[in-house]
Amino acid sequence: MTVADRLVARLRAAGIKRVFGVPSGSWLYYMDAMRKGGLDFVLVAHESTAGFMADVTARVTGIPGACYGTVGPGATNLSTGVGGALLDRSPLLAFTSEPPEKMLGRTVQMAVDHQALFRPLTKWTTRLAPDRVDQVLDQALQIALSDMPGPVHIGLPEDLGPKQTHDSPVTRGLPPTRSLGPASEDSLRALETVVAGSRRPVLAVGLSAVRAGLGPALLRIAEKHRMPVILTPMAKGLIPEDHPLYVGVLFHALSDRVAATHKESDLVIAVGYDPIEFNYEDWMPSVPLLCLDTLPADIDRTAYPSVTDVTGDIGVSLRRLEALPPLDSRWDLKELADRRQAMFRTMEPPPGSFGPRAALAGLREVLPRDGIMTCDVGAHIHLIGQMWRTPAPGLQLMTNGWSSMGFGIPAALAAKLARPDLPVACVTGDGGFQMMAGEMATARRIGLPVVFVLLEDRSLDLIRLKQDKKNMPRYGTDLLDPDYPRADSIFGVPILRAGTASDYRAALDAAFRSDGPVIVEAAIDSSEYDELILRKHK
């Protein structure tokens, strides 16, 4: 076997079906091995797309994604998507071509030190060699999946692909991952003491709880102890929005309504809460913190001196919490319900309007409950985080830890490839769409029936809102001139335009009937963002 043959065989044996990227000369050996070995190479318009698609593939399938970029500019482009996997906690393998051993340290066209480039963006970075292909790939898969999931970078010397390696049987499946044992008995007893003294505890639940599949246990605990539940944006779907103890999502639209509850708490119980989404100090009241996680709470312990870390298997810690006698909860469930209902009423589109609320409400009506919606970064993501009804985790995909514009379109492509049986839609603003318009060619070439909802307001609205908040003049946020020429398609993907709610609904119905990608361009009134987002959190 050649190195390229063996690498492809091991990836396929691990359950990886696709590698996303833009090829180079030295990558041809691997592409040919993929062609012969039944592994798809998905050509994209930009390497950052490859990283985002590998990230989302891992989220949807549970198997690490894979992506590739060539020497220098290919690798730097790829690094944007790889950084997303690091801070959004997705396991992936990022391959890049590198100069051969004899040229390391020399002046070489295009080359930069990829090991130095990817070291702060990954959990581990290394170079492949002919005598350790299996060792490196198995170690990379284990590191990517263990503990806090994330990306691993593997450099491929440019002369490596055609070299010979051994022909022994290829290991099947994924390597075993490291698992964390239960928290210490002392910390579990401390949990019992802290909780027993509380009368208004609130559960703050994050992404790590989603990965651990803790939704059912959290619901049982919330109901038994009458504990309100707040979520981070990437934990959407873990708790039904219509549940009596659901409060809302931190950090996004109408955060002041969510704060009306958590500021009345006397204890915050953080379950799998990852501050990469929202630091504790930016929202927590001055009350004790009980942190149930695999790592101690990352919090300013001078400002918050009363922190109890229960570090270990989160499921075991939750079982201890669930086993406690029912708390003497002092929460007024009617008051919680009134707040929740008032918040959702505020997010209903006013009659006759066509702003972002109407656009999202219309899409939610058309997209089946099991459909996947991805979104880009911008003003709309703050509204989606609070407004979009999400029946289960993984049915709304966003980036919050990394928060890179340009995420939404690649995410939708990857979700559709991974789950061709489910309808997929993407919501993006003008800015994110401009960054990834080239991927319309990718969607059409592959034949992916994804509906891209483009919220057209012709500006970077989130930045415009921040300028307004700081009483600064609006400057540098307009994306399009008033008279820019219209087109009926982009790279062959048809555009359906809508300026009213009724036209929009008709466009959505037509788009979801299509057997290929469609852009629904919604000319919205963006002024309603002003009253819905950037509220005070505390």
pLDDT tens-digit readout, 327-371: 999 999 999 999 999 999 999 999 999 999 999 999 999 999 999
Instruction: Check residue 466 and give its pLDDT.
Output: 82
Full-model pTM: 0.94
Tell me what pLDDT residue 247 has. Answer: 98
* The architecture CATH gives domain 185-340: 3-Layer(aba) Sandwich (3.40)
The whole-number average pLDDT for the span 431-443 is: 96
Topology at the third CATH level for domain 3-157: Rossmann fold (3.40.50)
For 192-239, what is each residue's pLDDT tens digit? 999 999 999 999 999 999 999 999 999 999 999 999 999 999 999 999
What does DSSP assign to residue 164?
B
Q: Which residues of the chain form CATH 3.40.50.970?
A: 3-157, 349-532
pLDDT one-digit tens code per residue, 255-292: 999 999 999 999 999 999 999 999 999 999 999 999 99
- How high is the pLDDT of residue 538? 40
* Domain 349-532, architecture per CATH: 3-Layer(aba) Sandwich (3.40)
Q: Which phi and psi angles does 52 have, rounded to 5°?
A: -65, -40
Contacts 24+ apart (CB under 8 A), 179-185: 179/313, 180/147, 180/294, 180/312, 180/313, 181/312, 181/313, 182/312, 182/313, 182/316, 182/317, 183/310, 183/311, 183/312, 183/313, 183/316, 183/317, 184/312
pLDDT of residue 461: 76
pLDDT at residue 475, as a whole number: 82
Structure tokens at 199: 């009368």
Mean pLDDT score of the chain: 94
- Mind listing the pLDDT tens digit for each residue in 181-190? 999 999 999 9
Residues 26-52, mean pLDDT to the nearest whole number = 97
pLDDT at 527: 84
* pLDDT band for position 534 (cuts 50, 70, 90): low
pLDDT above 90 covers a percentage of the chain that reads: 86
In the predicted structure, residue 535 carries a pLDDT above the cut 90: no
Three-class SS of residue 384?
helix
